[in-house]
Amino acid sequence: MQSMIELDGASLLFPTSYGYFDPHMLKMAAKYPKIQFRHCGGLWTKEKNPMNTGSYFGYIGQGQYLNGIAAAHASKSKKIGFVAAKPIPQVLINVNSFALGAQSVDPSIKTHVIFTGEWSMPVKEAEATNSLIDQGIDVVTCHVDGPKVIVETAERRGIYTCGYHVNQSKLAPKGYLTGAEWNWLAVYKPFLSEMQKGEPLPNFVRGGLSQDFIKMSPFGPAVSAAARKQSDAVKAEMMKGGYAVFKGPLKDNKGNVVIPAGKSFAETAIELESTNYLVEGIVGSIG
């Protein structure tokens, strides 16, 4: 970052690396108070962090909830899988959302999760996918940097997949159901526009389907009419804003109440950004 500032004259930087917000980006922001820094996924708070810093991310858990609906309709074994990198809040929101979407179709369905511990480790991702399939799952999705190996492994083994990040349907022409995709242009362009106009930049930026921060892959040929109808209906509700994927009474997979009856959290709830549990119905462990 220092070379970008001193050699290239950068005045707005977007560090995206996991764990870089605190302390690394904050140290650079203190050293360069006239430079603007915005971190992908970090949790900026007005009480703790300087005004020349901020964070941005999207409510892609909405997409994983819709993935879960498609997965539950397609599953015959009633066992679906999730290959995840690290059990941080953003990843746990996605795992939980996928499971809850599936449970909205069939409350008895089980979501099996494996954490690889790495953002990009194709060998571990292939091993995790094969292990889940060997345990009887017949639909899989993920939250890793590159879903390619997971999608291709699932297709080769003859099970269904739901994508992540971008549309991976070409990698799985038979088994691709749908996918939760990012639309980063909708996130970055306003920052650049405001910077060019000399306007102050927002410090905390989040958005979902209705802000066009995320979108869904087109349905694949294996998606049933019932799955399409339910998914489209829920998506329409999400587009209105305020849709609560997380609502009580809700327990974690250890039996503890994490959201009491009568309480719910829409996608904008700041409480979700500190998620540290797996919901009931998920087979797996954070630690």
Domains of the chain, start order: 2-57+185-207 (3.40.50.2300), 61-182+214-239+278-283 (3.40.50.2300)
pLDDT at position 99 is: 99
Q: Would the pLDDT of 7 be above 90?
A: no
Question: What pLDDT sits at residue 37?
Answer: 97
Share of the chain above pLDDT 90, in %: 93
- What pLDDT score was predicted for residue 1? 72
What's the pLDDT at 5?
84
pTM above 0.75, yes or no: yes
Q: Please state the rounded mean pLDDT for residues 132-157.
A: 98
* CA-based nearest residue to 70, from 271, 237, 229: 229
The stretch 223-227 carries a mean pLDDT of: 98
Q: Is 81 helix (H, G, I), strand (E, B) or coil?
A: strand
- Mean of pLDDT values over 226-249: 97
> Please, are residues 164 and 179 in contact by the beta-carbon 8 Å criterion?
yes
Assess whether pLDDT exceeds 90 at residue 143. Answer: yes
The pLDDT value recorded for residue 3 is 77
> Who has greater pLDDT, 177 or 3?
177
Whether the bond into 23 is cis, omega within 30 of 0: yes
Q: Does 9 score more than 90 pLDDT?
A: no
Cα of first residue to Cα of last residue in the chain, in angstroms, is: 33
Q: Measure the CA–CA gap between 70 and 57, rounded to whole angstroms.
A: 24
Could you tell me where the beta strands, DSSP code E, fall in the chain?
12-13, 36-37, 39-40, 55-58, 79-84, 110-115, 139-143, 160-165, 176-182, 204-207, 214-216, 246-247, 250-251, 257-259, 264-265, 282-283
Contacts of 76 (CB under 8 A, 6+ apart): 138
Q: What is the mean pLDDT of the chain?
A: 96
Rounded Cα–Cα distance for residues 257 and 251 (Å): 4
Residue 248 in this model has a pLDDT that exceeds 80: yes
Give the confidence band of 220 by pLDDT, cuts at 50, 70, 90. very high
User: Each residue of 97-113: pLDDT tens digit?
Assistant: 999 999 999 999 999 99
Q: Give the mean model confidence (pLDDT) for residues 85-103.
A: 97
Q: Report yes or no: 167 and 118 within 8 Å, Cβ to Cβ.
A: no
Q: Please report which confidence band the pLDDT of residue 42 belongs to, taking 50, 70 and 90 as the band edges.
A: confident
Give residue 244's pLDDT band: very low, low, confident or very high (50, 70, 90).
Answer: very high
Span 169-179, average pLDDT: 98
User: Is residue 87 over pLDDT 90?
Assistant: yes
What is the spatial distance between Cα 47 and Cα 65, in angstroms, rounded to a whole number?
32
Residue 85 confidence (pLDDT): 97
254 pLDDT band, cuts 50/70/90, is: very high
Nearest Cα residue to 50 out of 62, 38, 61, 67:
38
Grade residue 19 by pLDDT with cuts at 50, 70 and 90: confident
